[in-house]
A = this chain, B = another copy of it.
Amino acid sequence: MVFLQVQPDDGLAIYDQIVRQVKFAIADQVMESGELIPSVRELARQLMINPNTVSRAYRQLQDEGILEAVRGLGLRVTAGAARRCRSERVELIRARLKQVLAEAIQSGLTAEEIQSLVQKELRSKN
């Protein structure tokens, strides 16, 4: 879990950054189902933030059924978490893509111009 990192002024709340990154880590199977995640205090120490902030992120992940508490031991990734995190991420992408494209059209760009932009971006990423 050394790969987690937060930026205080990202616009996104710190606890939300943690939620997001944990979900992505689970989606990418960097963290497997059943695995214990870093303790609240440990992660807080690593990220140099307040334990309450980590706790809030973990609590939200519990509310969403991604993590489950094991009394006295810590928090564990639930069974169906990986599948859920993956589909949630794809759905998120789809929704945002949809919104951006709608705005692009509404702002006067033609379908051809948009596709050209998309292809240029996709090529530059490969």
Residues on A facing B (Cβ under 8 Å) = 8-9, 13-14, 24, 27-28, 50, 63, 68-72, 86, 89-90, 93-94, 96-98, 100-105, 107-109, 111, 114-115, 117-119, 121-122, 125-126
Q: Is the CB of A101 within 8 A of B115?
A: no
User: A122's closest neighbor in chain B, by CB?
Assistant: B111
Q: Is the CB of A93 within 8 A of B107?
A: yes
Per the bound structure, the CA–CA distance linking A96 and B98 in Å amounts to 12
Q: Is the CB of B71 within 8 A of A14?
A: yes
Q: Is the CB of B8 within 8 A of A71?
A: yes
Q: Is the CB of A105 within 8 A of B125?
A: yes
Q: Is the CB of A109 within 8 A of B90?
A: yes
User: A69's closest neighbor in chain B, by CB?
Assistant: B9
Q: Is the CB of B96 within 8 A of A100?
A: yes
What B residues does A126 contact at CB under 8 A?
111
Task: Report if A70-B109 is in contact (Cβ < 8 Å); known contacts: A97-B104, A100-B97, A118-B101.
Answer: no
Q: Is the CB of B107 within 8 A of A70?
A: no
Q: How far is the CB of A105 from chain B (nearest CB, A)?
A: 5
